[in-house]
Amino acid sequence: MKKTNIKKIAISTGGGDAPGLNAVIRAVVISALQRGWECVGIRHGYNGLMIPEEYPDGDGLLTLTRKSVSGITHLGGTILGTTNKGNPLKYPTKGRDGKMCEKDRTEELVAAFRKHNIDALVAIGGDGSLGIANILSEKGICTIGVPKTIDNDLDKTVITFGFDTAVSFATECMDRLHSTAEAHRRVMVVEVMGRYAGWIALNSGISTSADVILIPEIPYDVNKAAEVINKREKSGRHYTMIVVAEGAKPRGGSVSVMSKEIGRAEKLGGIAEKVAKELESITGKECRTVVLGHLLRGGRPTTFDRLISLRFGAAAVRALEQGKTGVMVALDPPTVRYVPLKQATNRMKTVPLDCDTILTARDLGISFGD
């Protein structure tokens, strides 16, 4: 087995935050220190290396010790900070004309790794961050990826950390909304995250006995959702619970976009409000919207997410010790294995329309608006 002569590794957290990030960081640091390696954290994705002048003393790296990662396993967020505006392949830059444009700064980033004598990188992130990690690996940086997304839409791993916490909190919120919807005889339209995949909406919706679940994988007909409301009214059930993923779209229509900025993905949102207004117009029922949004990203990770995060972090260090690069740690129960980063970021893991969970929802009488 190939061994590496690693002395110093860096950790980066990029994209949206997710419960469990700090647990991964702690596992990587403790496991690396056990092997005698030095650990540094790159602040806010890769910004700590690309714009170090914006940090105290011009240093965008944070030395990570046992003390600095003590007691962080249960904390939400990330002690390194994160960003979704720091893609080195398309870095937001002000041009000579004063307008914002995108610039490829990957060579500068690689040079920064060399300058700081960083031998390897553990990149924790979603599809975008891991795509960047794959490029860095191809450019000679020894890189291991750790899958992170509350949406659970990364391919080649059964589950990503943060997903269980997001679903659990969404379920708790909808349980509370269920009682107030019933008391006031209202229609509640709850919007959850899920840009390309409806895993959060599907799992939390089934768990809370939602009446309608709208997900990106199944373009909906608002009239079908209205039929559910009217049918419940006629049977004496004067309230309806609807959960909708932010990336859901009407049949023949497109996703609801709030804004688009240079260097970042489109900001989705507003689908719950759109659906609620249409349903209110069709049925005459009072419809209220609740957007859980970033509430699903914050807070303490569940026991499951803490454990899988710690397992992923330790596995990433073992991969480096074994001389691996360009791979992502992935859960393949009951073990954690390694898959090529290129494969892991090649496609989005969406909800299969014939999967057991979809079939369960249909057997329970839940409508997908189709």
pLDDT, one tens digit per residue, over 225-265 is 999 999 999 999 999 999 999 999 999 876 666 555 555 55
* Amino acid at residue number 66: R
Phi, psi of 173 (to 5 degrees): -65, -45
CB 279 within 8 A of CB 225: yes
Distance between CA atoms of residues 75 and 9, nearest Å? 23
pLDDT, one tens digit per residue, over 6-64 is 999 999 999 889 999 999 999 999 999 999 999 999 999 999 999 999 998 889 999 99
327: β partners: 144, 340
Determine what percent of the chain is predicted with pLDDT higher than 70.
95
Least confident of 28-42, 79-93, 196-210, 274-288: 79-93
Average pLDDT of the chain to the nearest whole number: 92
Q: Sign of dihedral through CA atoms 121, 123, 128, 134?
A: positive
Question: Looking at residues 282-287, what average pLDDT do you find?
Answer: 94
For residue 2, pLDDT beyond 60? no
CA dihedral (131, 137, 143, 145) in degrees, to 10, reads 20
Residues with catalytic function: 151
Distance between CA atoms of residues 162 and 146, nearest Å? 12
pTM of structure: 0.90
For residue 295, pLDDT beyond 80? yes
H or E segment at 101? Answer: strand 100-103
3-class DSSP state of 147: strand
DSSP per residue over 47-64, as a string? HHHHSGGGSGGG--EEE-
pLDDT, one tens digit per residue, over 64-91 is 999 999 999 999 999 999 988 888 888 8
CA dihedral (202, 204, 206, 210) in degrees, to 10, reads -100
| Structural domains in the chain, sorted by start | 8-161+301-344 (3.40.50.450), 165-297 (3.40.50.460)
For residue 4, pLDDT beyond 90? no
pLDDT-derived band at 267 (thresholds 50, 70, 90) equals low
Rg of the chain over all Cα atoms, to the nearest angstrom:
22
* Residue 248 in tokens: 């859901």
Question: Looking at residues 156-167, what average pLDDT do you find?
Answer: 96
Question: Looking at residues 288-313, what average pLDDT do you find?
Answer: 95
- Give how far Cα 255 sits from Cα of 195, 217, 219, 259, Å: 9, 12, 10, 12
For residue 1, pLDDT beyond 50? no
State the number of CA atoms in the 13 A half-sphere of 24 facing the CB: 34
CA dihedral (142, 146, 147, 149) in degrees, to 10, reads -110
pLDDT of residue 270: 87
Distance between CA atoms of residues 10 and 113, nearest Å? 9
pLDDT of residue 17: 92
Distance between CA atoms of residues 164 and 301, nearest Å? 8
Please state whether beta strands 100-103 and 212-214 pair in parallel, antiparallel, or not at all (unpaired): unpaired
Distance between CA atoms of residues 138 and 177, nearest Å? 48
Q: Which residue stretches of 266-335 are H helix?
A: 271-283, 303-321
